[in-house]
Amino acid sequence: MELVNGEPLNSVLKRTGKLSLRHALDMLEQTGRALQVAHAAGLVHRDVKPGNILITPTGQVKITDFGIAKAVDAAPVTQTGMVMGTAQYIAPEQALGHDATPASDVYSLGVVGYESVSGKRPFTGDGALTVAMKHIKEPPPPLPNDVPPNVRELIEITLVKNPQLRYKSGGPFADAVAAVRAGRRPPRPSQTGRATPAAIPSSAPSRVAANPPAGCPPPPSTPATAGHRSPPPRRTFSSGQRALLWAAGVLGALAIIIAVLIVINSHEENIQPQQTTPTVTDTGPRPAPHPAGRPRAAVRLD
């Protein structure tokens, strides 16, 4: 382990209030180059702050205290949602408990730069939680008017809330600082690889309409309505839904059959008494019929 003879930047700022513009930009570029070495090795510092930046008597910058550094592709060593870092310099995504990336270190270094050229931190509060919430929700106050526009633009780019809109690692940030030191505007961060989900729905239908499969009729020329619901798609059912529909159909059919049987049975009960009521109860011998037109004779048996 190297023994560094130097003074922490927080001690320098406490003694001088702020750095000259020349020394501040030199410190930021050197720190960005040093962070790039760690980022290229797959490490994220996660606690970049003035207390971890040493300045030697010759003006060389050394980054210290990699105690909570984390490999980018390593398994988590903290609980989900645990916040690692110092509240005054923490990146918004770290304050939310998300994984830190090289862009998180760049944000923290941007806070260091803000403090170095202005003599004050962008966010202050009564406690660490209050300060962390300001990093998440509030934009940083404007830098003093005596800060050159290109330096102000550099710090503003570095302190955006969305890590995808910042410089991706220490190297691109250091290159931007070098451009500012040369009197130029800082280059915009590369947006390569950013997701653009809003462009997918609008472009996909046009490709399908422009190249229909061979043998298929062309789509109708009616204008598309909001939501693209003409014609409506045919509804499909899963196997579980088909089984439920089949069972419901069987139960419905059984209910209809039972209702019909009840009606028939009720109708038969109303008709049956008229058909089965006897009209003759005498079971004795019946007299022989008499020829039509002849008088009936009374026969007495002695």
Q: Which of 26, 47, 99, 105 is catalytic?
A: 47
Report the chain's C-alpha Rg in angstroms.
46
Return the C-alpha torsion angle 135, 136, 142, 147, nearest 10. 50
As a whole number of angstroms, the distance between CA 48 and CA 111 comes to 9
Instruction: Please report the pLDDT score of residue 298 as a whole number.
Output: 42
Greater pLDDT, 247 or 8: 8
Q: Which of 25-29, 101-105, 235-239, 286-290 has the lowest mean pLDDT?
A: 286-290
**Residue 47: active-site member:** yes
As a whole number of angstroms, the distance between CA 96 and CA 149 comes to 31
Residue 35 tokens read as 């962070």
**Residue range 7-65+82-181, CATH number:** 1.10.510.10
Phi, psi (5° rounding) for residue 53?
A: -115, 115
Which pTM does this prediction carry?
Answer: 0.61
Task: Show Cβ contacts of residue 39 under 8 Å, excluding neighbours closer than 6 positions.
Answer: 102, 105, 169, 170, 171
Q: Which residue has the tokens 């500012």?
A: 180
183-190: list long-range contacts, CB under 8 Å, 24+ apart.
183/150, 184/150, 185/150, 185/153, 186/150, 186/153, 186/154, 186/157, 188/157, 189/157, 189/165
pLDDT in tens, 150-191: 999 999 999 999 999 999 999 999 999 999 999 999 999 985
pLDDT in tens, 64-110: 986 554 444 443 444 444 445 689 999 999 999 999 999 999 999 99
Instruction: Please report the pLDDT score of residue 248 as a whole number.
Output: 72
As a whole number of angstroms, the distance between CA 59 and CA 238 comes to 71
Instruction: Please report the pLDDT score of residue 268 as a whole number.
Output: 54
Q: What angle do CA 150, 153, 158 make, to 5 degrees?
A: 130
Instruction: Please report the pLDDT score of residue 249 as a whole number.
Output: 75
pLDDT in tens, 10-66: 999 999 999 999 999 999 999 999 999 999 999 999 999 999 999 999 999 999 986
Phi-psi region of 81 (alpha: psi -120 to 50; beta: other; left: phi over 0): left
* Boundaries of every domain in the chain: 7-65+82-181
